[in-house]
Amino acid sequence: MTKASSTWTNTGSGPDGNSTYYGSVILNDTLYDAADHSDPNQPFELKKVGSGWGNFTMVENSFWQQAPGSPVMASARYGLLGGTGVLYRWINSRRETASGFASIKAMALISETKNYDTFLANTRGGALYTIRIPRTSPLKPIVTKVRASTWGSFEALVADQCGTQSTILTAIDKDSGSAYLYAVSHINGTATVIKGLGKVPGTYKDPVYFNSTAEGQPPLNGD
């Protein structure tokens, strides 16, 4: 029943030794904010956000904070509607949309900054792009080509931080069950360096893949 998932974040152990693992997930037609607790006495939590999410192919939550504990922060929720290719952004209760993304096959968040968020996305035609989304309103994504071809076979992209300005990317071909690892330099259009690190052992045909991270990690800064 799972259609898509955001990044999941682990709080780490608290004073009582327990931790919480939380993220957002689309189950059937409904989006939930979910939490899984290591404490066996705390049940798995599903908090309904809204209905009408059955055709969304992506959901992600971005969070930028100037420093741990700082009140200077920014956050947003994103969703990509399959078929029509409409990109949604929610900041608090304000919803904005941008069209033109019907060719997108998969996308992964690679940057969370004070002024913008950035996704890395591949298309059915094989191209690889960045989609930079300024935090200003109205919503006006900036699309930049990174590669013109060879990326069309991947149904899922999972990205995490590598160093201070780069990205470690897993690209998954569910049809063949194969996954490949790439080191992606700081984004610089078609001059971006992408180094193949080889095939990942195992078989990858699960419906949904997502990044797992720890609370307090520096914001993504691949772009």
What CATH number is attached to the domain comprising 126? 2.120.10
Residues in CB range of 171: below 8 A, 6 or more apart: 122, 151, 154, 156, 157, 179, 180, 182
Per residue in 130-172, pLDDT tens?
Answer: 999 999 999 999 999 999 999 999 999 999 999 889 999 999 9
Mean pLDDT score, 65-81:
92
**What integer pLDDT is reported at residue 188 of this predicted model?**
97
Query: Is residue 87 in a domain?
Result: yes
Specify if 194 maps to a domain: yes
Higher pLDDT, 16 or 88: 88
Q: Count the domains in the chain.
A: 1
Residue % of the chain over a pLDDT of 70: 100
Give pLDDT, residue 218: 87
189 part of a folded domain: yes
Query: 175-197, pLDDT tens digit by residue?
Result: 999 999 999 999 999 999 999 99
User: Is 71 contained in some domain?
Assistant: yes
Which positions ≥6 away from 71 have C-beta within 8 Å? none
Is the separation of the CB atoms in 26 and 2 below 8 Å? yes
Contact 211, 108 (CB under 8 A): yes
82 belongs to a structural domain: yes
146 close to 159: Cβ distance less than 8 angstroms: no
Q: pTM score, two decimals?
A: 0.95
pLDDT of residue 167: 97
Domain extent, residue 137, equals 2-214
Q: Is residue 102 part of a domain?
A: yes
Degrees, nearest 5: CA angle 99-102-104: 115
Instruction: Assess whether pLDDT exceeds 90 at residue 37.
Output: yes
